[in-house]
Structure 1
Amino acid sequence: MTRAMGAAMRRIQAGSALSAFGIGFTVPFLYVYVAQVRELGASTAGIVLAAFAMAALIVLPVTGRVIDRRGPLPVLVGAAVVASVGAVALGLANSEPTAILAAALLGAGTAVMQPALATMIVWSSTPATRTRSFAMQFFLQNLGLGIGGLIGGQIVDESRPDSFLLLFSIESVMFLVLAAIALTVRLPHAPNLQEAMPKDASAPRGGMRALLGHKAMVQLCVLGFVIFFACYGQFESGLSAYGVEAAGISASTLGIALAANTAMIVIAQFAVLKFVERRKRSRVIAAVGLIWAFAWLLAGYAGVGHGSQAMATAAFISTYALFGLGEAMLSPTVAPLVADLAPAGMVGQYNSAFALVKQLALAVGPAVGGPMGAALHVPYIVTFVLFSLGITVLAVRLGRRLTPVQNQPSLAKSPVVAQGGPATEPAAAANA
């Protein structure tokens, strides 16, 4: 990695961490804010959360092409400004229409920031350093979210709407800080914002059709959907409902479980990174499936086993901690693989497509898992044990479609970053 790449990467990581810090101030309290503080009711709160998710699903299909044509910098700056406006508007919203519109702006802005940041990381790294770069982003984002949520919890007061306005204002400022930092980033082939465009400014013809014809990428998207559906899509819906209804877990214990998840990520990330860098990506993902299957079995023991309440609580908290271990293994594996599969000039579209898959899984996961976790305890556990084992099977199959270097970047002798994105291996191009 050159000195210019290192300087750009440090600023990208700082901006990403600070924006996550801002998001942490509001995410845990959004439902309570809309339903109780603004007294708009549970149904309106549900609509606001749905608007947040739907906005992401609307904007992501077109985000990738814009990134590839205009470069990630202007897209990131625009998205951060939109998110900032949405955050302030949500803090001031006192009616259903304004809350829904503000949530849509916030959701659209934060959704677009994901592939834009990912593309900037790709442009500022080599295949050999990309694994560590994405791991660092994941680590800093989780740290930022955790610290933001911790501080926000000390500020928030349900009896004072102004305290929530302060939280949303802090979030808004953090988005503007991200935009300001982005404006100072000098990408290796983009000296300033106006020149933040690949040297070959025309994106490859075919777009989504070319992506859908790339079998390895399609398999990775299917795998990604299962990963996000079986883990992230259950954290605050199905698994928490299961814990309360089946395992007798209190709300405070749920908070401890989430803290255990974050703590595991923060503690294990770089120890895991050394292990991951020397292994095939497909095998690492397959191992995560096995770890998560065991985690779901522990959750099953917590809810339908016949141990003491203390044992059930320990097993439930361990479930979240094991999920965190799997997340730490996936962060330096999946996102860099998306970039390494992308042909030159289509990195933005590949990142956006994968972000769209993630959003779909996060929308479907709670809708399916919530009712099952609350009422169908044994079927719920069995279902997600099978989904976790499915991750292992899909990962093994994906490994057969990857080139040796795509599957294990440490094998590369002379990694090269292509203009506008990573170099495409000949075998990968043949799969496209």
Structure 2
Amino acid sequence: MVTLLTAAGGPRYAGALLVDAVGTGLLRPFLLLYGIGVLHLSAGAAGLAMSAGMVAGLLVVPLTGRWIDRGGRTLPAAATLAVRAAGALTLLVAGGLAGFTVAAVLIGVGSQSWPATHAAVVSTLTEGRLRDAALAAGRSLRNAGLGAGALLATLVVSGGAGAIRVLAGVTGVACLGAAVLVHSLRVTAPRASASRTEAGPHTPMRRISLLGVANLPYAFCFDVLEVALPALLVLRLQASPAWSSGVFVGNTVLVITLQLALVLRLTNRPRRVVMAAAGVVLALSYLGFWAAGSLGGAPGAAGIAVVSVLFTLGEILYTGSGTALVTAAAPPQLLGRALARWELSMGVGRAAAPAVLTALLAAGPGVLWPTLAVATLLGALAVLRNGPAE
């Protein structure tokens, strides 16, 4: 893994990835708590501000894509980190809803634009299957950092409002340090790619757009883990919250340990086929959750934990093939726009997922899981038939 990470930017970039991941892991669990516990906002007001941040981030993604297509690589990546740092540090001076909203918008803009800029940096420094492996290694490192940051945040927030403020400051400094490390690399696009932004074939971009539409049901998988399963375990099965925590920790460990190995194992398979297979595996896991949940009580919770292993394998196949497929299929001069379309699809799916999943679960597990399975299978079929031929 170390060799792959240094191939895509060297030790400084790998260090920036780790610092960013830990900082993001610190930020995610406590942002809502900061608004409620430190600024004394209502849960509804804080949640609305965070949603505004996510929407603002999605609106900026196309602009980030155009910046990448003009030749930017490490500068856009560093800018996203710096914006996130500004958002975290804004929390320290926020005195109410307005300040919290500004912070949430800055954090949302930086967070939503980061994946595209990171993929563009890796795509410039590597190519082919080495690029796929480098992207997978970066995801493994990011998951490890997110887990470490979240664990640290969980320990710190028990110290009250003062500890949460310290956490905001540490997160801001961490993101700023990562921005400095990334900017120091000064990587730009090859001159030919940067100078022909409007040129090139349009068929690959149409296929990438179709891939983005097919990706929408796939993107729900992340909130299945963070929203649907905890709600099912705790509210429907009356199981201990420890089951949800165990499933989440198990998922994180499996992603860290298996992501790179599976990507390397499947290097001789077309990326499109791997992504379609991911949809089939995810759909099977959804049906497995439905069957396990019908057992009720502790047996149902145990069954869901077992099926979560299959779910994690589907997630690994999906995250290991999606971005790799886009970067392989995109015309070099339109890489930024291709990545922006992909990240918009991911962002829209993730933004809609909590509301859709909770509404379907309220109608009953017999509505939630078959609907998810059918939608994901249709997405897999669309990827196989209409996705880029890579």
TM-score normalised to the size of structure 2? 0.91
Unaligned runs of 5+ in 1: 188-195, 407-432
- Residue 160 of structure 2 corresponds to residue 166 of structure 1: no
Distance (whole Å) between structure 2 residues aligned to residue 9 and residue 355 of structure 1: 25
- 1:274 Cα deviation (Å)? 3.0
Question: Equivalent of 2:211, from 210, 220, 244?
Answer: 220
The aligned amino acid for 2:9 is: A
Residue of structure 2 equivalent to 1:112: 113
* Paired position in structure 2 for 1:204: 197
Q: Distance in 1 between matches of 2:59 and 2:279?
A: 30
SS in 2 for 1:397: helix
CA distance change for structure 1 residues 387 and 167 in 2, over 3 Å: closer, same or farther?
Answer: same
Match of 2:266 in 1: 276
Q: 1:174 Cα shift?
A: 1.7
> Contact 2:282–2:315 (CA<8 Å) still a contact in 1?
no
Match of residue 417 from structure 1: none
Matched, 1:13 2:14: yes
2:74–2:117 contact (8 Å) kept in structure 1: yes
Aligned to 2:142: 141
CA distance in 1, matches of 2:110, 2:196: 23
| SS across alignment from 1:355 | helix
Aligned to 1:360: 348
Structure 1 distance, partners of 2:309, 2:66, is 37
Normalised to the residue count of structure 1, the TM-score between the two structures is 0.83
Distance 1:55 1:215 in 2: 25
Shift of 1:242: 2.7
Query: 2:304 and 2:168 mapped to 1: Cα distance?
Result: 32
Amino acid at match of 2:68: I
Tell me the distance in 2 between the aligned counterparts of 1:154 and 1:18: 19
Distance 1:315 1:37, change over 3 A: farther
Determine if the alignment matches structure 1 residue 312 to structure 2 residue 300: yes
Contact 1:69/1:202 (8 A) holds in 2: yes
What's the CA shift for 1:130? 1.0
Q: Which segments of structure 1 move beyond 4 Å, counting only runs of 4 or more?
A: 2-5, 210-213
Note the 1:62-211 alignment, pairs <5 A.
62-157=63-158, 160-185=160-185, 187=187, 196-200=188-192, 201-205=194-198
Moved more, 88-97 or 164-173: 88-97
Q: In the TM superposition, what is the alpha-carbon distance from 1:380 to its structure 2 partner?
A: 0.8
Q: Give the 3 Å change call, closer, same or farther, for CA 220–143 of structure 1 in structure 2.
A: same
Question: Is contact 1:298–1:316 with CA below 8 Å preserved after alignment?
Answer: yes
Q: How many Å apart are 1:378 and its aligned residue?
A: 1.2
- Given the superposition, is the C-alpha separation of residues 7 and 30 from structure 1 closer, same or farther in structure 2, using an over 3 Å criterion? closer
CA contact (8 A) 1:16 1:117 kept: no
Residues 3 and 260 of structure 1, relative CA distance in 2, 3 Å threshold: closer
CA distance in 1, matches of 2:243, 2:310: 16
Deviation, structure 1 residue 53: 0.8
Aligned partners of 2:81 and 2:178 also within 8 Å: yes
Q: 1:265 aligns with which of 246, 252, 255?
A: 255
Alignment partner of 2:239 out of 227, 249, 259: 249
The 1:87–1:394 alpha-carbon spacing in structure 2 relative to 1, beyond 3 Å, is same
Q: Which moved more, 1:23-32 or 1:88-97?
A: 88-97
Within the alignment, does 1:347 sit opposite 2:341 as a pair?
Answer: no
The question of whether the paired residues in 2 share the 8 Å contact of 1:242 and 1:374 is answered with no
Identify the match of residue 384 of structure 2 among 375, 383, 396.
Answer: 396
Change (3 A) 1:243 1:127: same
Match of 1:420 in 2: none
How much is the aligned-residue C-alpha RMSD, in angstroms?
A: 2.5
Higher helix share: 2
* Secondary structure, aligned partner of 1:205: coil
Q: Which amino acid aligns with 1:223?
A: A
Which digits, 9 at most, give the CA deviation of each residue in 1:128-164, with x for residues without a partner? 311101110111111110011111111112x621211
User: Aligned-pair distance for 1:86?
Assistant: 0.3
- Per the alignment, do residues 212 and 102 of structure 1 end up closer, same or farther by CA in structure 2, a change over 3 Å counting? farther
Q: 1:56 & 1:140 partners in 2: Cα distance?
A: 24
How far does residue 203 in structure 1 lie from its aligned partner after superposition? Answer: 4.4
Question: What residue identity is the alignment partner of 2:172?
Answer: S
Are residues 47 and 133 of structure 1, via their aligned partners in 2, closer, same or farther at CA, if it must alter by over 3 Å? same
For residues 211 and 249 of structure 1, what CA distance do their matches in structure 2 show?
52
* Counterpart position of 1:412: none
- Residue 296 of structure 1 corresponds to which residue in structure 2? 286
Which whole-Å deviations, capped at 9, do the CAs of 1:78-132 have from their partners, x for residues lacking one?
Answer: 2221110101112443311111111001111122222111100000101131110
Structure 1 counterpart of 2:223, from 233, 250, 256 = 233
- CA separation of 1:5 and 1:315: change in aligned 2, threshold 3 A: closer
SS of the aligned residue for 1:277 comes to: coil
Partner SS for 2:191:
coil
Contact 1:91 1:165 in 2 (8 A): yes
Distance 1:174 1:380, change over 3 A: same
Q: What corresponds to 1:378 in structure 2?
A: 366
Corresponding residue pairs, total: 387
CA displacement at 1:211 relative to structure 2: 6.0
Give the gaps of 5 or more residues in structure 2. Answer: none
